[in-house]
Structure 1
Amino acid sequence: MASDNFVDYVKIHCTSGNGGGGSAHFRREKYIPQGGPDGGDGGRGGHIILRGNKQLWTLLHLKYQKHMKAGHGEHGSGQLQKGAQGEDKYIEVPLGTLAKDAETGETLFEITEDGEEKILVPGGRGGLGNDHFKSSTYQTPRFAQPGEPGQESWMILEMKILADVGLVGKPNAGKSTLLSVLSSAKPEIADYPFTTLRPNLGIVKYRDYRSFVMADIPGIIEGAHEGKGLGLRFLRHIERNSCLLFMVPADADDIHEEYKLLLNELKQYNPELLHKERLLAITKSDMLDDELKEAISKDLPKIPYVFISSVAQQGLTELKDMIWKHLNHV
């Protein structure tokens, strides 16, 4: 996935359709000169509807299409004929898309299944024709109900990556390198912080034609939960991962402390993230001998861990085995 084509946040203006007015018509035929009311109802205005599409991975197609409009309902007519409803406007979105009210910030709903449809902005109701207002004491109502106006509002669509494993680590922890080695993904890699500005997805092949999805997410710095660095922009993607793989380089000053810093940023952002499965990969381990690995192991957090080197292709099979075991609880 090219990073320039990855868009995970858009703000759109939505206008639903007006409802059609009811008809105040009376039946008039050659042999029925004083027929009763027969005005039909107006059609409802078109809705703005979100529809899940598993083929989409980004909100890029909405980046330059800011205004969404649905059709207006038609007015009712005589002979109890109801007006046609306004044309609904469908917006295709990737799975894992949140819809929010831009003014209040309230989360309205989330699209998680292919083909799932939810109304983002409802159209106005059609008005009732005069036939609805007749009674035994009032047989000639000369009025009908107008249609309701549509609604107009700014909405935010925000996407959270759907992946099995999310890579969590500081900038330059080796996340992009690992993803490029384990999958066919081609993330940008360089020796400076924040090379990864947007999440990258890769499909990791496992034994017997099985596979799982791994997400390389921009690196955490201290204060990310307050929006520092890339902050909140990437932390939301971690919420959708089944399992979190913490990555700390072997040359870190204190591996355990760096792990606790990463964990604290997640906790400050959303304490529920602490309930996810956590694994640890000590990267760039090709510089360590067995004696050093043994010494480091004594001070590691009490979670499953493995020493790896993406460049030297060391420990990668053990890493995939560990991930698969925890994804499938085997």
Structure 2
Amino acid sequence: MSINLTELFETLCINFFEVNQDIDAIIVSDVDGLIIFGEKREEVDLEIVSVLTSIVHPVLERIRDEFAFQKFGTASFDTEKHRLLFISIDEKITLSLVIDTMASIDKVSPYAYFLAEKTARILNAEEDDVIQLDIPNFEYEAEKAERLKNQIYQLRLDIGRKFRFKFIIIGDHEVGKTSIVRRFVENKFTYDYRATIGLNILTHSINFLDNDVKLSIWDIGAQKYFRRFRNTYYIGAQAAFIVFDLTIRESLENVMTWFQEIDNFLNTKDLPIIIVGNKSDLKAERVVDYQEGVELTNSLSERDIKNISYIETSALTGENINDAFRLISYHYIMKSKEIEENKLKADVLEEIN
């Protein structure tokens, strides 16, 4: 049975539109501006966007040429009616997003990169490939620093790098922290519960938009006895999962306690954090609504936490597990690339002006 790429992309876009209300259209086009795929929500002229894409592509190409370590570029433009976000999928293909003029590029970007990766998988799909088309529901609060008023370029993630970072996974006992890690590392689930004794460290590598990302995962025990040791475990952490159980309200309420604990030892304003509501498969036993998780995450973002998101997972079924780890990788890479991005922006703006 042959793969229907157009049908896959249509389904992907429908899912994307459901999660991202600020997106009006999604276009995949080649270097000449020819539309390969295109889906829209409202009356948007896809041909105009395609022409703009063909203009932007050489600039993205120049960025890659001048900075040999980069194969990937992005740019954004503001028009009277829309904001346009362009992501170079490879040397010949560009993903273009037509966004509501009042929407935040920072808020849309993490979704856009997941979309770019899934689009690349569709374009390169082979027989019997299984392509996950679900877009995870997560809330993302990006850094609230002011941007240039007339900014036309917003450079983002590059490709071809090797990243290694330490991140901690914390939360009440029996919320499924170890199960999440095991599902991610081994793609297995164990029904028998065994509490983590103090600390377990696992290393696992993923490919995220052609970046080699090695994660050193510190699965930290929740027992009060180990509290006196946890400050040592936190040292050097570059990202964090705070996990709670969607079937236990107290574990949600304790998320703030866990945040306060790491806030005592780490600079949480610059620490990428994912709030994880686990056991989403237990729908009948669920006592915490999705919006409650979002509201808690938003309350933390109001404390000037720059990179924080919310996502719901199931270690049992594997739902959103890989996306959660890709999301934390995205946050970490974005943080580590900030200085380099600013230099790149300045160079490009100087060239244009």
Category of TM-score, reference length = shorter chain:
0.3 to 0.5
Structure 2 length as normaliser, TM-score? Answer: 0.39
Rg bigger for which structure? 1
Structure number with higher helix proportion: 2
